[in-house]
Amino acid sequence: MNLDRETLADRVTAIREAVGVAARRSGRAPESVELLAAVKYLDAADVPVLYDAGIDLLGENRSDQLVVKQAVAGDVAFTWDFIGHLQSRKARDVVGRVRLIHALDSESTAAAIDRRAATPQDVLVEVNVAADPAKYGVLPERLDAFLETLAGLGDVHVRGLMTMPPAAAHAEASRGSFAALRELAHGAADRWAGRHRFDVLSMGTSQDYLVAVEEGATVVRLGGALYDRATG
């Protein structure tokens, strides 16, 4: 992709300022929201440029590319998350390599994570808030049953929820899904106190991240919003 560090750094600064404004609108501090750079479409050689431009949290969708890009990054002090749909057979390539697995929605994958984990692996449960057949995720009415299953796995630690709203032409159309996830997290936090945590809400991508922040996102996953103006 041939990223330009200075242009990317300017873009990161502008996005952080916009996120700060959106966070304050929701009564939160700007630093309560993390910017995650989605690196699925980045060449491995471009990854170290992100750190120089002020990004230290990265998310990869593919387990094989996670391994490759971490190797290229070497000792650069990135934090890595896995943000793709994880199949149970790929858990061995992800568990222990990332801070968070963002999109857990399968009992078989949860069991595979538990088997592979030498230490507890933090995860987010993906919820299909709008029951969109084109999206992955646990349906809201099945969330508690899934959380009950996860409570029986000693090395799978729930830290919060994640969602992908239905595709829409305008960011505002996603607000209802983001608000619904926030309310699901609040309710689950009460019901599952002492068993699961719900301090992380991963929601919002390049087209709707400011709306997501207004509705309580603590992690926004950005691709084009970062890179579109920073490529040569």
- Structure confidence at residue 230 (pLDDT): 56
**Residue 103: strand, helix, or coil:** strand
Cβ–Cβ contacts within 10 Å for residue 93, how many?
A: 16
Position 232 in a domain: no
> How far is it, in rounded angstroms, from Cα 156 to Cα 115?
9
Spatial separation of the C-alpha atoms in residues 157 and 69, rounded to whole Å: 25
Tell me the pLDDT of the chain (232 aa) as tens digits: 678 889 999 999 999 999 999 999 999 999 999 999 999 999 999 999 999 999 999 999 999 999 999 999 999 999 999 999 999 999 999 999 999 999 999 999 999 999 999 999 999 999 999 999 999 999 999 999 999 999 999 999 999 999 999 989 999 999 999 999 999 999 999 999 999 999 999 999 999 999 999 999 999 999 999 997 655 4
CATH number at residue 40: 3.20.20.10
Contacts of 221 (CB under 8 A, 6+ apart): 36, 38, 59, 83, 102, 202, 204, 205, 209
How many C-beta atoms lie closer than 10 Å to residue 179's C-beta? Answer: 16
- Is residue 171 in some structural domain? yes
- Paired sense of beta strands 57-60 and 79-82, if any: parallel
Assess if residue 136 is contained within a domain: yes
Among the residues of the chain, which ranges form H helices? 5-25, 47-52, 63-73, 107-116, 143-151, 175-191, 209-214, 224-227
Distance, in Å, from the CA atom of 152 to the CA atom of 134, rounded to the nearest integer, reads 29
User: Is 184 inside any structural domain?
Assistant: yes
Cα 98 from chain centroid? 11
CB–CB of 40/223 below 8 Å?
Answer: yes
Q: At what angle do helices 107-116 and 143-151 cross, to 10 degrees?
A: 20
pTM: 0.95
In a domain? residue 212: yes
Backbone angles phi, psi at 121, to 5 degrees: -105, 125
| Distance between CA atoms of residues 101 and 82, nearest Å | 5
The pLDDT value recorded for residue 232 is 47
Contact status, residue 227 vs residue 38, Cβ threshold 8 Å: no
Based on the structure, what is the number of domains in the chain?
1
Task: Output the pLDDT for position 1.
Answer: 66
